[in-house]
Amino acid sequence: MTSHSVSAAASGTWLLGDLKVNRIGFGAMRLTGSAAFHQGTPSNRDQSITVLRRAVELGVNHIDTAAFYFSRLRSANELINSALAPYSDDLVIATKVGPARDASGEWADAARPDQLRGQVEENLRQLGRDYLDVVNLRIMGQDDISEHFGALAKLRAAGLVRHLGISSARPEHLAQAQAIAPVVCVQNRYGIDMPGGDEMLRACAAHGIAFVPFFAIAGKGREAGAVQAEHDEVRAIADAHGVSPAQVRLAWILQQGAHVLAIPGTGNPAHLVANVATGTLRLTDGELQLLDSIGRSDP
């Protein structure tokens, strides 16, 4: 398949509230450098902007970002603004609030409910928007998120936010949030070798809510990227299809349900094309079962 024929539309679509997105989107975290946040080598600014513009050309219309995605020299939101503003009407930008970092990049205490408006406004300033399409509350260890989510619901009512979601959530968090305002998505860590996420996957399906896994390609490498040795099963399936292990991981994610959205991130233009092309990769039932066994067998 040539890059000219690759389109995110091949992955199918889903509604985030009233916003239609292609199921393969783009995660902006890795645009800030070679490792997460303030560590590692700063990214090449021109290449990052090229990747963002190319993503939109390939039909990506769902971009995941956050104001706390920044490194010593790069800000994901600023890169998005520089690359894509003025934004097309069909582009959906989802951001997150909750975690806090100081100007030097060190993590601070999680935001209090009364500080969430400031975080929302920071995202608005950096992105150059009058409102945010989707804001996810990144849960930072709280058992009860009612006060935090209630603060975001007030911002939604005020018109600063269009739709709300939650991240790093348990089923009880979803119930707490839904009692306050509609939830359009749940972002959780999930992948073939990250067992334990199926309950939320099913809960989202039952409620018609998008399930948006992160670290789907990185797996246990998390923010540092896919640094671990790949499973033999993944490599064998990749070889059988003539694709990369990363594409197998993405295909598995997309085949977990029509409500599942992928947000793979990369600063590499070739990897971007490969990620988007995964929308046409179909794994067999036998291959899916083999990949499922990885998660069940890992501790």
Cα 56 versus chain centre, distance: 16
Beta-carbon neighbour count of residue 153 at 10 Å? 17
The C-alpha atoms of residue 186 and residue 236 are separated, in whole angstroms, by: 31
β 19-22/107-108 pair status: unpaired
Q: Where are the beta strands (DSSP E) in the chain?
A: 13-16, 19-22, 26-27, 62-64, 92-97, 100-101, 107-108, 132-138, 161-167, 185-189, 210-214
Positions annotated as catalytic residues are 69
For residues 253 and 216, is the Cβ–Cβ distance under 8 A?
yes
3-state SS, 142-168, equals: CCCCHHHHHHHHHHHHCCCEEEEEEEC
How far CA 51 is from CA of 33, 58, 75, 152, 278, in Å, comes to 13, 10, 15, 31, 17
Instruction: Determine the residue type at 187.
Output: Q
φ and ψ at residue 34, rounded to 5 degrees? -75, -15
Cα 163 versus chain centre, distance: 15
DSSP symbols for 92-149: EEEEEES-EE-TTS-EEPPPPGGGHHHHHHHHHHHHT-SSEEEEEEE--S-S--HHHH
